[in-house]
Structure 1
């Protein structure tokens, strides 16, 4: 095994970021691993686990990928010789392998792939990928949950969409997106950080003296490895995810779930509440539901949107009286999994979806009578996995499909606004209300292609004036986050290898956006 000694820029006091980022790639056969190996970042230590030896050409493809892994340490493939379902023997073999690897992150396939066709006569979806892909992913998720429960060590998981385009990087291939804006500030200025893991959502939080507690795993059997964190009009975080539950008849139910945190502290997250799904009447259709997007309108109504089985958009909402409406369908253009919902300048909610069959975006917005209007004329195309809400109403963030540059779209001005940072990857996180020499600024955060976090800033509401960027000074393999407390304090955060939370606070320097030394969030 060849090991990389350069672990990236930045230094974190008393944290594990000096060690490698260990990635386990777990798939049915070597041919399935080749694509996933190519997506791993420089500096990663990759261990490949295959359930079966596979065919000769598949082993050769994996060998080529491992040989081309410049700047990455590689080991494997390790062949387990099991059938790939989620039966006890397979889970036990996978659990042993994970014990040997001790990964920080695990990559596998999609347990609920998107169908390619549908037989209306029998009600049966057809798929372009072997059934072993979904079966293996289900077994891997079960083993990953068991390993994290036994060790107490947070394990992040990525499930890869079949036939996704490797040119656009890891975020374009994720079935369940990693969260942006996962750092939240309570009324009293105490912070909470959320991380989706194999065993559920992990929380770290501050006590009244500013000391950190956690990680605490929020109970949620069957939660899939994705998370949306959305602040309500009072700034309190609401969480959305997908939950996968085996059925007695051999099928699975996949449903949208919602929880909220109304205070900072241990056990403060509400129980997960099921919102079902738009195709819940038939589990074979319902399992294909896309990951949720959500937003609050100016009146405090909570809207939730998903991509449905037919690849259009479905939605339901909870008005101020607290009673959820039924799922309704928007129809219209066929969309991919990428959705983002934002509050519009007029106080309503808009939802954007990346088109499935062509490069572009569709936007839906409600009129004064509540009727939704579809707009397919938007003059931009985002990279898969990069649509995100901007800090200000009416703005959407993404990366340009062709250049990778960070871009904002203004629905009011119908203008595309370049934000720079072409070297970054994935969606952008945000914070607003950052005071700089008496002016209010919005802050953007991203992970660079070299695994180093970056931060940018522009005058709030004026991304057209230009964004200046600088390194955050810490390695991170997920999008960093930041938040501003009610007292105006800006804090940036990132997840270190092993799931440890690290933080840096803004230093007050005239004319500068500077952060102090990064440190581990400990009591």
Structure 2
């Protein structure tokens, strides 16, 4: 294992089984529940793909899991060839499709080497959208067109765009992307399904590297959560509104977000690695973040970023890799609020 993937590295299949993924030397590792709700797991199985520097995972409404990688292949003349690769897993535990290269929009080798890490989103019609920073600090997009044919790379422009993009799809068929850019974040959105993404207003303060997460908190409306690099805790933002400070003590790394029902209330759950190195879980009423979050330290030592999902029985699940590389999973147990059971090794 060589870290954690970005995006959704813990997924729920149509058959009700959870699958966890992690990048590793020579490819990616995959653990799969043996039955819905666990507790047994199989794996890890190795899915081979060499020379990846970055792995992003995104799941569509059809439950297909898409893998996006940034690949650096050394050439005989000493140069390095950089491209983005894509593969799909259609069912839990089943083989992954052949990896397909989506290329690189830069024909010049020196600029091609500076092409950034991809992020993706799958629209409700199944169209895959891939985003990545280009060598000039702008944002590039490539998407799958009709009949499975990929459109050329499109330049969405922008300034000082950096790695750590967050792309997400809404239930009304649109895709948005939130991009760190120095002291701000740049935001693009589709005004309607299949449209070219348009630039929205810049958002300040900008996020700490790799910390942005997106969650649909109302039909067609995304809320973005990220860590303030100035040490001010969490921040959330919805398009058309102001950024709201939420406090907390997140460490570096990503925030995981999940919407669920607790005690009959629509709630948002946030998980991240705290400054002490353990997984912290916060809960608030959905779209009422300013009223406060209730935090719990799970005590689970975490290397990399935690993940959140529902299992096949509808329970909230928190997953993380401990410092020894063991995958550990904690599930909600009966009782008021969000109470998690003891994290179990997989």
TM-score (norm 1): 0.61
1:385 aligns with 2:192: no
CA contact (8 A) 1:383 1:399 kept: yes
Q: 1:201 to 1:504 in 2, by over 3 A?
A: same
Which runs of 5 or more residues in structure 1 are unaligned?
A: 1-153, 158-176
Deviates more, 1:292-301 or 1:303-312: 292-301
Match of 1:502 among 320, 324, 328: 328
CA contact (8 A) 1:404 1:424 kept: no
Aligned-partner Cα distance in 1 for 2:285–2:64: 25
Q: Which residue of 1 aligns with 2:308?
A: 482
Q: Which residue of 2 aligns with 1:276?
A: 103
Aligned-partner Cα distance in 1 for 2:80–2:315: 45
Q: Which residue of 1 aligns with 2:272?
A: 446
Q: 1:320 to 1:421 in 2, by over 3 A?
A: farther
Match of 2:188 among 344, 356, 364: 364
Aligned-partner Cα distance in 1 for 2:45–2:17: 16
Aligned-partner Cα distance in 2 for 1:222–1:379: 35
Aligned length: 340
Aligned-partner Cα distance in 2 for 1:197–1:469: 32
Aligned-partner Cα distance in 1 for 2:185–2:317: 33
CA contact (8 A) 1:476 1:496 kept: yes
C-alpha distance after superposition, 1:127-170 (max 9, x if no partner): xxxxxxxxxxxxxxxxxxxxxxxxxxx3x26xxxxxxxxxxxxx
Q: 1:208 to 1:376 in 2, by over 3 A?
A: closer
Aligned-partner Cα distance in 1 for 2:273–2:209: 16
Q: Which residue of 2 aligns with 1:471?
A: 297
1:513 aligns with 2:338: yes
Aligned-partner Cα distance in 2 for 1:491–1:269: 24
Structure 1 residue 441: Cα displacement: 2.0
Q: Which residue of 2 aligns with 1:205?
A: 32
Larger Rg: 1
Match of 1:314 among 133, 137, 140: 140
Structure 1 residue 513: Cα displacement: 0.7
C-alpha distance after superposition, 1:435-481 (max 9, x if no partner): 31122322111001111101111223443443211112211122211
User: SS where residue 304 of structure 1 aligns?
Assistant: strand
C-alpha distance after superposition, 1:188-236 (max 9, x if no partner): 2211111112332111111237421111111002122x32121101233
1:247 aligns with 2:96: no
Aligned-partner Cα distance in 2 for 1:332–1:187: 38
Q: 1:372 to 1:513 in 2, by over 3 A?
A: closer
Aligned-partner Cα distance in 1 for 2:319–2:288: 25
CA contact (8 A) 2:18 2:312 kept: no
Match of 2:85 among 253, 257, 274: 257
Aligned-partner Cα distance in 2 for 1:457–1:320: 40
Aligned-partner Cα distance in 1 for 2:46–2:158: 39
Deviates more, 1:361-370 or 1:201-210: 361-370
Structure 1 residue 346: Cα displacement: 5.4
Q: Which residue of 2 aligns with 1:348?
A: 174
Structure 1 residue 423: Cα displacement: 4.2
TM-score (norm 2): 0.90
User: SS where residue 336 of structure 1 aligns?
Assistant: coil
Which runs of 5 or more residues in structure 2 are unaligned?
A: none
C-alpha distance after superposition, 1:5-29 (max 9, x if no partner): xxxxxxxxxxxxxxxxxxxxxxxxx
Structure 1 residue 424: Cα displacement: 3.4
1:409 aligns with 2:237: yes
The structure whose RCO (Cα within 8 Å, separation 6+) is larger is: 1
Aligned-partner Cα distance in 2 for 1:191–1:275: 28
Structure 1 residue 237: Cα displacement: 2.2
User: SS where residue 449 of structure 1 aligns?
Assistant: coil
Aligned-partner Cα distance in 2 for 1:515–1:247: 49
User: SS where residue 164 of structure 2 aligns?
Assistant: strand
Q: 1:458 to 1:364 in 2, by over 3 A?
A: same
Structure 1 residue 367: Cα displacement: 4.0
CA contact (8 A) 2:227 2:250 kept: no
Aligned-partner Cα distance in 1 for 2:66–2:196: 26
CA contact (8 A) 1:180 1:427 kept: no
Q: Which residue of 2 aligns with 1:219?
A: 48
1:179 aligns with 2:3: no
Q: Which residue of 2 aligns with 1:336?
A: 162
Q: Which residue of 2 aligns with 1:69?
A: none
